[in-house]
Structure 1
């Protein structure tokens, strides 16, 4: 219902970095306004712009937030998440929104 009312944006998962929680082909809903007035919290699942690859969106879990709101993101799949460790902290401004649900 929230998607139909345009209160959530729909995304399709394309990689395996969040496996087994999410797998390629899964559709998710994202609240793009979730962080307009607050920083992400540890444990949040987010969509963000990749800090090194223009126009690439990534799905990761927030594992650290510093006092300035910069976030360290990491995937669930330890075999596929090496890129998360290579780019370190990202600005919360690079986060597009918070994943709120997955389509069955």
Structure 2
């Protein structure tokens, strides 16, 4: 299971140019990889967005509560592009095990680095 690298100067420049978005981790669902309070940079989904790969960490909108954003790991990908996502901390995660597959339009982007 891969974790997230620390940001470098290129990541910071991309953030300043608006090509990356900053997110803060809340909750325990991604322990031990991500801790509550960790700041992350994500590559936002755009027309040239690359579909996530298995093991990528993504930010998604909850399928039943659009204003709730979740940070989860991609476990499986269907041919239609939908993803099964799960938290690393299985005991403390609301994920695809409870709400099902995430449609591509609910994927906001993938995590590129930890903001430092």
Q: Fold match, TM over 0.5?
A: yes
Query: Partners in 2 of 1:98 and 1:35 — Cα distance?
Result: 14
Q: How far 1:39 moved relative to its partner?
A: 2.4
Taking the aligned partners of 2:32 and 2:47, their CA distance within structure 1 comes to: 26
CA displacement at 1:35 relative to structure 2: 7.2
Change (3 A) 1:35 1:66: farther
**Equivalent residues, number:** 103
User: Could you say if the C-alpha distance between residues 21 and 53 of structure 1 is closer, same or farther in structure 2, counting changes exceeding 3 Å?
Assistant: same
Q: Structure 1 length as normaliser, TM-score?
A: 0.90
Query: C-alpha displacement at 1:36, in angstroms?
Result: 4.1
Q: Which runs of 5+ in 1 are unaligned?
A: none
CA distance in 2, matches of 1:33, 1:12: 18
Structure 2 unaligned segments of length 5 or more: list them.
1-12
User: For 1:56 and 1:36, how far apart are their aligned partners in 2?
Assistant: 25
Deviates more, 1:1-10 or 1:60-69: 1-10
**CA deviation map 1:43-82 (0-9, x unaligned):** 110000011223000000000100000100000011112x
**Structure in which a larger fraction of residues adopt helix:** 2
